Amino acid sequence: MIKSWKHKGLQRLYEKGDTSDLQAKDIDRIMLMVLDNAVTINEFRHFQGFNFHTLKGDKCHLYAITVRANRRITFEFFDGDVYILNLEDYH
C-alpha cells in the first residue's frame, strides 16, 4: 500500500485521477495500482521494460522503475508498503 508521497502530481493522479501535473506521454507508464497492491519487492521484477532496480550511493535505500528516458518513479519499500513515492530525473 502507498503510505507517503513526495510528488504531489502522482498523489493527485492516484486520489483524484487528475493528470494536470504530469506529462501526457508518461501517464500510461505510471503503475500506481501495481505499487499500491504489491506485497513483496520481488513483484516488481516481473514487469519487462520498466528496468526495476535499486539505486546506489546516498539513495541506496530507494528503488526505481523507469517511466521514460531518465524519468523514474522512486520509492522506499518496507513491510509491504511504499513510502516517499516520487517521480524524478536523478541522472
C-alpha cell at 30: 505510471
Whether 53 sits among the annotated catalytic residues: the reply is no
What was the pLDDT predicted at 86? 98
Tell me the C-alpha to C-alpha distance, in Å, between residue 33 and each of 8, 9, 24, 82, 91.
Answer: 16, 15, 18, 11, 26
Report all structural domains of the chain as residue ranges with CATH numbers, in order of start: 8-88 (3.30.2310.20)
Active-site position among 46, 53, 61, 91: 91
pTM of the model: 0.92
Which of 46, 39, 51, 34 is closest to 77 using CA atoms? 39
List pLDDT tens digits, range 9-56. 999 999 999 999 999 999 999 999 999 999 999 999 888 889 999 999
